[in-house]
Amino acid sequence: MNNFNRCWALALLVLLSVVVPLSAAAESGIEFSIRFFDRRVYYVESDPVYVQVSITNNSPATYRFKLADERAFSIDFDVRTMTNRGLEAADSLIRKRTQSQQVFFREIAVESGESFSFVEDVRDYVNLRQSGSFVVRAVIYPELYRPEPNITPISLIAPAANPAKLESNRLSLSIRPPAIPGPDGVPLEMDVATGAVLVREKLPPDQVVDYMLTARQKTQWEKFFLYLDLESMLSRDAVRRREWLAEGEQGRRRMIARYRQELQSSVTDGDIAVIPSEFIIERTQYNSFEGTVFVLEKFRNGNFTELKRYTYFLQQKDGVWTIVDYSVVNLGTE
């Protein structure tokens, strides 16, 4: 074999080592999918739009891919209007991909029958500055993202530079105009199912707790948070309390948003976000300002059921009761 043929064979081997495994994987059971991590009503330049990204291996062999520490070099989001016009890439994404830097990554091995998932905020990738209906698609680069020369800022997905990639399913995303401010300046919650404004009603303490737990059972996060006083709950921790006092208005809003997300992902105060299979309100006591509700909650875990007694502490303001704290006692199993 002459030098030319050797070079050609080597180049072909390198190309196949990148493209063939991915193509074979895509055809033999590697599924790349996305879904909303926190399905709710989204507003222009407001709450994050969290999407859970999953790679499922339905093939008989182990599937391996590279995952960058800076996710911008592993994944991308393409968001388009109903007229198929792509939205601009987020400014932060452009900066990350255009500056000179080392890209650190780790190799992920997904065994047969297993999945690997992580959560990303679409706003980190796309400028969602207008209300309307959109279609969201994700792309993952198993061999990392490689910038395309002369790329335009409309979309940083570069198919020519990244032949080895997986495309996800599509999601329908609705972005509403800025949220309606409530009496306290905090945007009002909206019911995902009906689009109606959720308003705190003057319910007694036991009904407030019942409302919250029922919403959690139905995974209705907007209703679950309606009667939770997140400021009081995050301030229970001394460190966070000092941070809260040191922050301005915008900083406090960010703390509330972060704490809310941590509750949903069970990073903090996970006990209150666990879904009970059933619950029984045992006793309620309250005066004009404070209330306490004792609830027996059951959690199905395989072949047995865990029993826990929750004590919810409530306070009344302007006739509306909200949950400000809670405690848990384990009662064993049945």
- Which amino acid, one-letter code, is at 226? L
pLDDT tens digit string along 8-38?
A: 343 333 333 333 334 444 446 889 999 998 7
**Taking the domains of the chain in order of start, what are their residue ranges?**
3-176, 189-228+261-333
Q: Which CATH number among 2.60.40.2360, 2.60.40.420, 3.40.640.10, 1.20.1200.10 corresponds to the domain 3-176?
A: 2.60.40.2360
Q: What whole-number distance in Å separates Cα of residue 108 and Cα of residue 95?
A: 26
For residue 86, the 8-state DSSP code is B
For residue 318, the 8-state DSSP code is T
Per DSSP bridges, beta strands 105-110 and 63-68 are antiparallel
Per DSSP bridges, beta strands 115-121 and 50-57 are antiparallel
Q: What is the CA radius of gyration of the chain?
A: 25
Residue by residue, pLDDT tens for the chain (334 residues) are: 444 444 434 333 333 333 333 444 444 688 999 999 877 778 776 668 889 999 999 989 999 998 988 888 889 999 999 999 999 988 888 888 887 778 888 899 999 889 999 888 898 899 888 888 999 999 999 888 876 554 444 445 544 455 578 889 999 998 877 655 544 444 555 555 555 667 788 899 999 999 999 988 888 888 888 898 888 888 887 788 888 888 887 788 788 888 888 887 766 677 888 889 999 999 999 998 899 999 999 998 888 899 999 999 999 988 899 999 999 999 988 8
Partnered with residue 65 across adjacent β-strands are 108
Domain covering 189-228+261-333, topology? Nuclear Transport Factor 2; Chain: A, (3.10.450)
Tokens of 204: 């007694």
Helices first, then strands: H and E counts in the chain: 8, 15
Tokens of 269: 């105060």
- Residue 76: Cβ-neighbour burial (10 angstroms; 0-12, 13-18, 19+): buried
